[in-house]
Amino acid sequence: MLLNRVGVRSILRNGAIASFGFLWWAVGAVPAAAQGTWATTLAARDLDGNSANGPEAFYDATLRVTWLRNASASGLVTWWEATEWVAKLDVGGVRGWRLPRLVEPGRAGCQWGNHSTDCGYNVRTRTGGTTWTELGHLWYTTLGNRAFFDSSGKKEPAGWGLKQTASFTNIRSYGYWTGVEYAKDRDYAWFFGMAGGGQDRIDKHNVAYAFAVHDGDVGAPIR
């Protein structure tokens, strides 16, 4: 359990390790067929008044939010820098972006596990009308990716990793900030690891990417 977390953190901190690990683990792996919902739940949105240059965002009909298409526009930033970047973000005149949300189910703090918790892999993403983790829902449900550990705790199941990115650009196999501080220690914030589907908290001084999201449906449909 401890090793899992250390692994996630070393991947978050060091892109070289992430790249090496990703390639190494990919050897002999059987790619999974796309199983995400993106073809029916994500809709292209134009934000810059130019549909010829393609969409700048995707409306997520399940979460009722709009995701910025470029998933690494922030660069690698601390949590405070991510918060500042997203608050100032202006895409074709559209402002009001935020970092992804996360709601801790049950008691405060990380309850580590491989299934249906807030911390670890195969985390609880959405039940009833409650979205527990927007990034987790995007990675597991919308894109259809498989985690580094399956729900029974088996390591490196076939097809694990960031295999599906739909039509987003620049999704990195790296950590992504949520906007949510870790309630038990506010020097930490929650993040989601795009490399292997892990969710955990990490010191805000680390650098990770920021995925901008906007409430509701903004922009114009592109056919």
48 vs 84 by CB, closer to Ca ion: 48
The amino acid at 120: G
Residue the block writes with tokens 């359990």: 1
Does 48 interact with Ca ion (rule: CB under 5 A)? yes
- Give min distance, CB of 48 to Ca ion, in A: 5
DSSP codes of every residue in 71-124: TTTT-SB-HHHHHHHHHH--BTTB---BPPPB---SSSS--EESSSSSEESS--
Half-sphere exposure of 143 (CA within 13 A, CB side): 24
Q: Determine, following the binding rule CB under 5 A, whether residue 44 of this chain makes contact with Ca ion.
A: no
Interface with Ca ion (CB under 5 A), residue total 4
Stretch that binds Ca ion, among 49-57, 58-66, 154-162, 203-211 (CB under 5 A): 49-57
Binding segment (CB under 5 A) for Ca ion, from list 28-36, 46-54, 124-132, 186-194 = 46-54
**Amino acid identity of 219?**
G
H or E stretch at 193: strand 188-193
Q: Is 169 helix (H, G, I), strand (E, B) or coil?
A: strand
Q: How far is CA 183 from its chain centroid?
A: 20
Stretch that binds Ca ion, among 47-55, 75-83, 134-142, 212-220 (CB under 5 A): 47-55
59 binds Ca ion (CB under 5 A): no
CB of 50 to Ca ion, least distance (A): 4
Min CB(46)–Ca ion separation in Å: 4
Q: Given the complex with Ca ion, which of 46 and 60 has the nearer CB atom?
A: 46
Question: Helix, strand or coil for residue 65?
Answer: strand
Residue 82 CB, nearest distance to Ca ion (Å)?
A: 24
